Amino acid sequence: MSKLRNYTSEVTPAKSQATIEHLLVQAGASTISKFFDDTKRCQGFFFQISVGDVPLTFKLPANADLVYQHFVASTRNLDAKKREQLRAQAERTAWRTLQEWVQIQLDMVAMNQVELLQVLMPYQFDQDKQQTFFQRVMNSDLKLLKP
C-alpha cells in the first residue's frame, strides 16, 4: 500500500467529525449539519459562514469511498474480511485527513496567509443546483479549469 498520511489512523471517524465541527464553529460557522449515505455513514458536512454580511453555505465531503477504492487498488489478495477492514480504515483515514486539512487551512487564515473564502470557495454550495462552486465550474462550458 502506498504511504499516505493517516492511512494507519486509529482515530474514529466520530472523533474526527467532532473536531471538525469544533474547528468550523471557531471559524465562524453559524449552522452545521451532516449528510449521510444509504448505509447511514456520514459523508460530510454542510455549514454556513457569513462572509461580510452574506451567509454562504458550504458542502465539505470526506470522500471515504474514494479512499477505499485507492486502498483496494493498492492491496493484493483481498477477501471479504480484508475488504471490511479496508472499508473501516478508509473511513478513519478520510476523516482524519479532512480534519487535518481543515486545521491547516484555518491556521493559514489565522496567520493571514489566505482568506477564509479563498480556502472555502470550491466548496460553496448552491442549494438550487445542488452543486458546489467547483462542480459548477467543471460542468460548465467555461474553460477556466479545463485544459
**Count of domains in the chain?**
1
Q: Is residue 19 part of a domain?
A: yes
d(CA 9, CA 3): 12
Q: Is residue 146 part of a domain?
A: no
The pLDDT tens digits of the residues spanning 62-97 come to 999 999 999 999 888 888 899 999 999 999 999 999
The three cell numbers locating residue 29: 460557522
Domain of 68 in residue numbering reads as 13-121
- In this predicted structure, what is the pLDDT of residue 140? 78
Q: Is residue 137 part of a domain?
A: no
The pLDDT tens digits of the residues spanning 8-64 come to 778 999 999 999 999 999 999 999 999 999 999 999 999 999 988 999 999 999 999
Q: Is residue 68 part of a domain?
A: yes
The yes-or-no verdict on residue 142 having pLDDT over 70 is: no
Q: Is residue 86 part of a domain?
A: yes
The arithmetic mean of pLDDT across residues 110-132, rounded, is 95
Residue 53: other Cβ atoms inside 10 A: 5
Task: Write down the pTM of the prediction.
Answer: 0.89
Q: Is residue 143 part of a domain?
A: no
Q: Is residue 142 part of a domain?
A: no
DSSP string, 78-92: --HHHHHHHHHHHHH
Nearest by Cα to 89 from 67, 73, 74: 67
Q: Is residue 30 part of a domain?
A: yes
